[in-house]
Amino acid sequence: MRILLTGGTGYIGSHTAITLSSAGHEVVLLDNLCNSQIDVVARIEKILGKKIVFYQADVRDTDALIAILQTEKIDAVIHLAGLKAVGESWQKPIDYYACNVGGSISLASAMKVAGVRILVFSSSATVYGDPKYLPYDEEHPTSPTNPYGRNKLQVEQLLHDLANSSDEWCITCLRYFNPVGAHESGLIGENPNGIPNNLMPVVAQVATGRLPLLNIYGNDYETIDGTGMRDYIHVMDLAEGHLTAIEWIAKNNGCHYFNLGSGTSHSVLELVSEFEKASGKTIPRKVISRREGDLPNYYAQADKALRLLHWKTSRNLSDMCESTWRWEQQRLA
């Protein structure tokens, strides 16, 4: 298939482009570069050993999208473009709704005009909100607790209604858990602007000395060691999840939801300890008070993806830390 990746130079998009291309699909990348750099294109090309097509464009520009979909003869779209920082979504709700919800409406409109009906949407486990039970399965009630999560849920609802409006639509919403790690080459990885929000990039930057120490938000949760636990998923496993999802949805219609997670969770201290092993560095840390809104623990039930997509994770916490460390060293070199 000829697949357009919106947000294609971002963290997950760049890794997904490599997996799709390596599996024989043709990829076209689109990004407005608000949270990624143009040199990612050359890095992807280096890994793949071939040229790829890139458009600098905004997903809210419906006319530009229609032109790209038609000129490039696109068969399917993976929609990753969006703003993703939960904390920032409280401060800039208009930007978040305009980009995440508005951008998705624009994309769906362009696809309708251009006759493209296959879509994979980057959703998030944040749509579930506080757990009524664990692990979260796809039937768990959705009740997001922040503007970012509400954006994701609203787009899922739009796509559900779209698929109901006509049998032609083939849509999957992938609810990612906590993507970490990097491509094994060390050429691409997560490249957050400013001070990162997520644990793994902070740990990596503490290891290189760019940040002085790791703040641990609470060690009195009811978890194995008192620190918060998350379902970390290697970004290359996630990329393979997109490959299986797009190949599956191309043969099915309707709107479908899949958790993409490992089905298990690791604590902050487990991750830090594994990172220390991978890097040979000591990570200075300080325990401070809990952060409002943080959950003690959550993880996916990933059986549906296994059953229908024949996908499951194959990389462990050690792979996640080693690849992150390789990327972190490489990008400082």
- Which residues contribute to the site for ligand NAD (CB under 6 A)? 6-7, 9-13, 31-36, 58-60, 80-84, 99, 103, 122, 124, 176, 178-179
Minimum distance, C-beta of residue 7 to ligand NAD, in the bound complex (Å)? 3
Single-letter residue type at 243: L
Q: Which residue, 146 or 219, has its beta carbon nearer to ligand NAD?
A: 146
Closest contact distance (angstroms) between CB of 235 and ligand NAD is 8
Q: Give the CB-nearest residue to ligand NAD.
A: 10
Residue 193 CB, nearest distance to ligand NAD (Å)? 9
Cβ-Cβ contacts under 8 Å for 214 (sequence gap 6 or more): 202, 203, 206, 272, 283, 284, 285, 286
Letter string b/e over residues 140-154, b meaning 16 or more CB atoms within 10 A of that residue's CB = bebebebbbbbbbbb
Q: Is the bond preceding residue 147 a cis peptide, omega within 30 degrees?
A: no
As a 3-state breakdown, the chain gives helix, strand, coil percent values, each rounded to 5, of 40, 20, 40
Q: How far is the CB of 10 from ligand NAD (least distance, A)?
A: 2
- Give the span between the Cα atoms of 62 and 46, in whole angstroms: 31
Alpha helices in 93-215 (DSSP H): 93-96, 103-114, 147-165, 199-207
Q: Which residues are catalytic?
A: 148
- Nearest approach in angstroms of CB 111 to ligand NAD is 15
27/10 Cα distance (integer angstroms): 14
Least distance CB 282 / ligand NAD (angstroms): 26
Toward ligand NAD, which CB reaches closer, 11 or 169?
Answer: 11
Cα separation of 259 and 306, whole Å?
A: 10
Nearer to ligand NAD, 33 or 42 (CB): 33
CA distance 309 to 259: 11
Closest CB to ligand NAD among residues 186, 201: 201
In the complex with ligand NAD, which residue's Cβ is closer, 124 or 227? Answer: 124
Tokens of 271: 């991750």
Return the number of the residue (179 or 241) whose C-beta is nearest ligand NAD. 179
Q: Which of 301, 208, 218, 210 is nearest to 261 (CA)?
A: 301
